[in-house]
A and B are shown apart, each in its own frame.
Chain A
């Protein structure tokens, strides 16, 4: 895809000093390309280190291929870069060590994450992979909020958690699926134990 046709992330140009107006090009695993400001990239520790190591000039950015992010698709990456552009220049939050953590979801973030849970799931994976601390905080808070006012049974449905019975059934199934010769040996061992022997031999 050409740069002209690439999804363009809204950029607040007034907020960026002229001398720092540097952009990078990234490509998702489904070949969608994004231009992202240097300041926005600083929200991602992974990308920030990557572009620092590459040491690209403005000319390099235009002349060399876009930086490939191979395990994130375009739909997810668009959300990630929208978030980074909106929060560019903001300090990376420092954890005060308290648990439970008190995390507020700003209005912009709430709207950005008003998406289906499949995409939210991918967004969290992306925020984790790209090490975007605050995006990870707010997206995890969104997942945590799904638990509010839910009974244990509802929580199992929301988070797809197996019940004790299902865990037990899965364990039994795994045992049954194992090598029948090994199962035969185990059964023989159990039988010998019942008969009072301690050792298999």
Chain B
């Protein structure tokens, strides 16, 4: 059954192309130079973002509709050794790269491209997608699981070079504490850094750790047992969330006193410090001249206070018990009114 697509009126061709998914559009651009030119000229992708998931098994380019997480189009890049027999060729740059279609458990079709997973190839593939779709990159997720150290270091450098200003960078999986510190020292991202990777070992005393400067608009550290309050001070971000910290109430209090004493407005506007124990708010807030605001606290908050910083800014503090399988408590500080 055939239908002469290019004999339809131009605006109808545009509509047909606009109702195709990313995979079909991408494959269509390999049909001929003319179809590629038409897709590029007629189609302007709107309200979609690209995420890149990098892991050992595959690099996944995921096109997602803004505000509709259920609409996904995924293109996998897998190592050549996984290549099947029933491949067809897609034109990527000057290369004809073997590819297949696969079906997911929920009957969605995904495209798999078999290409050696070098930084050069990933960059070429990204550039090809960007040339056709011009879809902004939302963020990158790097999974360290079972990946050679040199390999994921090259991914992080790639992120730094090409995607410093993407909306987020998330790092998951596990690494030794030594490599974890390397990541902290070397990662560069402008907006949100989610360091959710778990160190496989921890130093005995967090107070003796090397202090690493980290800078991003927002920093989230899932496994913060290694962190000292001095390290927390070395994070330059508007928003910091640290979970599973091992600092004592007294150490947190020292940090807060120093933060309160700052005479210039703090760049830190939101701080969440979470731990797997109950805290003693009297110790944490000692000497901060807090005003009890329990009458104003939201229902899901245990206690609320406020205090005035030396800069004149108001800081609101709440003590929260978080829901989850493991008991978790924490303080959240919001600077400003």
Contact = CB atoms under 8 A, between A and B. Distances in A.
A100 B2 contact: no
A144 B32 contact: no
Q: How many of chain B's residues touch chain A, expressed as a range?
A: 35 or more
Considering residues B24, B25, B44, which has the most beta carbons from chain A within 10 angstroms of its beta carbon? B24
A153 interface: yes
A46 interface: no
B1 A152 contact: no
A143 B46 contact: no
Considering residues A98, A128, A136, which has the most beta carbons from chain B within 10 angstroms of its beta carbon? A98
A97 B47 contact: yes
Contact of B32 (A100, A149, A161): A161
A129 to B, nearest CB: 9
Contacts of B43: 99
Interface in A126-157: 128, 136-137, 140-141, 143-144, 146-153, 155-157
Interface string B79-91: 0000000001111
B76 to A, nearest CB: 15
A125 B12 CA distance: 8
B30 interface: yes
A100 B22 contact: yes
A147 B33 contact: no
Given A117-B2, A161-B31, A164-B32, A148 B12 contact: no
Contacts of A128: 8-9, 11-12
Contacts of A163: 31-32
B24 A167 contact: no
Interface in A56-105: 96-103
Contact of A117 (B1, B6, B9, B33): B1
B115 to A, nearest CB: 17
B324 interface: no
Contacts of B21: 100, 148
Considering residues A100, A137, A156, which has the most beta carbons from chain B within 10 angstroms of its beta carbon? A100
Given A136-B15, A144-B19, A159-B4, A100 B45 contact: yes
A96 B68 CA distance: 13
B12 to A, nearest CB: 5
B93 to A, nearest CB: 15
Q: Is chain B's interface secondary structure helix, strand, loop, or mixed overall?
A: mixed
B2 A157 contact: yes
A7 interface: no
B3 A160 contact: yes
A148 B109 CA distance: 8
B117 to A, nearest CB: 23
Contact of B20 (A120, A136, A147, A162): A147
Contacts of A144: 16-17, 19-20, 24
Contact of A140 (B7, B12, B27, B44): B12
Interface residues of A, number: 40
Interface string B119-153: 00000000000000000000000000000000000
Contacts of B65: 98, 102
Given A144-B16, A162-B34, A117 B3 contact: yes
A6 interface: no
A33 to B, nearest CB: 27
Contact of A148 (B4, B15, B24, B33): B24
Nearest to B20: A144
A150 to B, nearest CB: 7
24 contacts: A98-B46, A99-B47, A100-B19, A100-B45, A101-B19, A102-B68, A121-B7, A124-B8, A125-B8, A125-B9, A128-B8, A136-B12, A140-B16, A141-B19, A143-B5, A148-B24, A152-B28, A152-B30, A152-B89, A159-B3, A161-B31, A161-B34, A162-B32, A164-B33
Interface of B: 1-9, 11-12, 15-22, 24-25, 27-28, 30-35, 43-48, 65, 68, 71, 88-91, 101, 109
Given A98-B47, A152-B28, A155-B35, 16 more contacts: A99-B46, A100-B18, A100-B22, A121-B4, A124-B8, A140-B18, A144-B19, A147-B20, A149-B101, A152-B31, A152-B89, A156-B31, A157-B2, A158-B2, A159-B3, A160-B4
